[in-house]
A and B are shown apart, each in its own frame.
Chain A
C-alpha cells in the first residue's frame, strides 16, 4: 500500500514498528524473563533485563504443587464446549437471518445484538438461581450454558454478515439439484464457511476463556475451577503474592492456546477477510 522508497517514509515506518512492537511484545518478554528469575533476583527494585541465572524453579513448583493442569483442562473443556454450542446456535440463527424472510426478522436480530450490552454481572444475579433450579450450579454444564451470554449475539451477527455474502446462485444450484434447505446448509454452505466459523468459534472461545466473573461465582469446587479464578486464587490473593509463580503459570496456561491460535490464525484472518465482519 505504502511507498517506502523515501527516507522519511522508512523512518516513520521503522519508528512505528518499534513503538507498537515494543508495546505489544515487551510484556510477553517480561513475563518470560520474570518467570525464569529466582526470587532473589525477581524481587529487586532495579530489575535485570537479562536474568543472570535462569531457573526453572517457578515452573517446577507449579508442576508439583499447583492444580494448574486441572484448571487449564477445565477451562479448555468449558470454553471449548461453550464456544461449540455458541457457534452451532449462531450458525443456524445467522443463516436464518441472512437467507430467509419472515416477519420480525430484523427487529429480532437487532434486539439480540443490542443485548450484548446487558451487563453480564447483572445477568449473573438471575442466572444463578436458574442454574440452581436446574441443578446445574457448580457443574461444568452450568458454566458452559452460562457462557452463551458472552458471545451469542456477536457470533450471530458475524455469521449473518458472512452468510449474506454467500451467493444465492450457489444455494439455488443445490436446490435445483434436489437438496432440501437443511441439506443445502449442511452440505454446501457450512463446508464453504469454515474460516468464518472458525473465526466465530475463536471469538466465542476467547470470551469464555477470559471469564473470571461467572466461573468465580458459579463454580465453587476446586476440581471444576477454570484458570481465571484458578490463577488468581493460587498466585495473587488474600494470602499470597507469588509473582514469579504467577508469570510461570501465566505462560504455561497460555502456551496451548497460543499454539492453537498460531495454527488457526490463518483461518481467523481469512474468516474476517471473507466477511465475517462487515
Chain B
C-alpha cells in the first residue's frame, strides 16, 4: 500500500491527523483475539490442562499402592484393550447413546410436530413440556426408579392388576430391563430440549412452501417426508451432536438409577471411568480408558463438526 501512495502522478495530500497505524485489518484481528482470550484461558485451565495431564497419567501406573506414579508405557492400554469389560462398556455405551438419541429424536420430533399444530391448550402443554428437562437428573432417576421399583413400582402394579404377570418383576435387575430403564429415563429427560430445537426449526418453515406442496397434491405424510424432514436436516444434525454429547457424558442418571448395574449391564464409559478412578483407585487405567475414548471420538467429532460449521 505504501508503494501505491508514493506512486508518481498521484495527488499528494497531508495525511489526516486521525489516521491510525497498522490499518483496519490488524486492529480487527487484535480485537478478535482479545475477545477470545478469556474463554481460551478458561478452556485451557479447566479442560485442556486436565486433559493433557490425564493423557500423561495414562502412561503411568497410578493406583492406591503407588502414591508416586510409575511410568509403564503402554501397559495400561494393553490391559484395557485385552479386557473384555472394556469392549462391553463400549458396546453398552453405543447402545445407550444410540438408543437414547434415536428415541429422543423420534419422540422429540413427534412432539414438536404436534405442538406446532394449533390446538386449544397448546401453550400450556408447551410450557409443561419443559418439566422433565429442568428437574434435576437425580430427581428423574428417582422417579423412574420408583416407577420401575420391583416392590412398589407402578409398572408392576399395573401388570399385576391386568394379570399379565403373577409376581412382581425386578425390572432393574435384568440387564435388558436396566438398560431399557436408563434409556427411557434419558429419553424422557431430553425430549424437551430436542422438542425445543425441532419446534424452532418448524417455526422457520416457509408456510408458502407447504402451501405450494399442498397445491401440488401432497398429503400430510408427503409434507412430512418431502418437506419438513429435509427442512429439519440441519437441526437434526445439531440435535444429534448435542444428544450424543449429552448421552456420552451422562453420569448422573445412570449413577443414581442403577449405579451401572446389575452386574455391569449399564456401565457405560462414563460410569466405568468413574469406577476405575474413584472406586478402584486405578487412576492410570482410568486415564487410559478416557484417552482411548477421546481417541475414538475426537477425529470423527472434529470432522463432523467441521462439516457442521462449514455447511451452514
Binding site for B on A (CB under 8 A): 1-4, 9, 13, 16-17, 20-21, 23-25, 27-28, 30-31, 34, 42-47, 75, 85, 88-90, 92-93, 95-97, 99-102, 105-106, 108-127, 130, 145-146, 148-150, 152-154, 156, 161, 164, 181-182, 185, 206, 209-213, 217, 227-229, 231-232, 235-236, 243, 246-247, 250, 253-254, 257-258, 261-262, 265, 268-269, 272-273, 277-278
**CB < 8 Å neighbour of A277 from B45, B136, B220, B238:** B238
Proximity string of chain B (31-55) to chain A, C-beta cutoff 8 Å, 1 when within and 0 when not: 1110110111011011111110110
User: In the bound complex, do residue B290 and residue A31 qualify as a contact, i.e. CB atoms below 8 Å apart?
Assistant: no
Contacts of B269 in A (CB 8 A): 119
Q: Does B114 contact A (CB under 8 A)?
A: yes
| Interface residues in B70-117 (C-beta closer than 8 Å to A) | 107, 110-111, 113-114, 116-117
A89, B38: Cβ atoms under 8 Å? yes
Q: Contact check, A273 vs B204: say whether CB atoms are below 8 A apart.
A: yes
Contact B57 A45 (CB under 8 A): no
B142 touches A247 (CB 8 A): yes
Inter-subunit contact A212/B138 (CB<8 Å):
yes
Name A101's contact: one of B32, B43, B49, B130 (CB within 8 Å).
Answer: B32
Taking a contact as CB atoms under 8 Å apart, the answer to whether A126 and B47 are in contact is: no
**B227-241 CB contacts (< 8 Å) to partner A:** 228, 234-235, 238-239
Instruction: List chain B positions with a Cβ less than 8 A from chain A.
Output: 28-29, 31-33, 35-36, 38-40, 42-43, 45-51, 53-54, 57, 107, 110-111, 113-114, 116-117, 125-140, 142-147, 149, 151-154, 156-157, 160-161, 168, 188, 191, 196-197, 199-200, 202-205, 210, 214, 219-220, 223-224, 228, 234-235, 238-239, 242, 245, 248-249, 251-252, 255-256, 269-270, 273-274, 277-278, 283, 286-287, 289-291, 293-294, 297-298, 301-302, 305-306, 309, 312
Question: How far is it, in angstroms, between the C-alpha of A113 and the C-alpha of B303 when the chains are bound?
Answer: 11
In the complex the two chains form, is A122's CB within 8 Å of B29's CB?
no
- B113 and A1 contacting across the interface, CB-CB below 8 Å: yes
Q: Supply 18 A–B pairs (Cβ within 8 Å), ascending by A.
A: A21-B125, A27-B147, A110-B302, A112-B39, A113-B305, A117-B245, A117-B248, A119-B269, A121-B290, A123-B51, A125-B283, A209-B134, A213-B252, A231-B142, A235-B142, A250-B139, A269-B126, A273-B204
User: When the two chains form their complex, are residues B47 and A149 in contact, meaning their CB atoms are under 8 A apart?
Assistant: yes
Contacts beyond the supplied A3-B219, A92-B39, A213-B252: 13 A-B pairs with Cβ under 8 Å: A1-B113, A20-B107, A46-B161, A47-B157, A100-B31, A101-B32, A118-B51, A121-B251, A123-B51, A146-B46, A258-B130, A258-B134, A265-B130
A122 and B273 form a contact (CB under 8 A): yes
Give, as a whole number of angstroms, the nearest-CB distance from B281 to chain A: 11
Tally A-B pairs: CB < 8 A.
327
B36 touches A108 (CB 8 A): yes
Which residues of chain B are within 8 angstroms of A47 by Cβ–Cβ distance? 152-154, 157
Q: Is the CB of B36 within 8 A of A1?
A: no
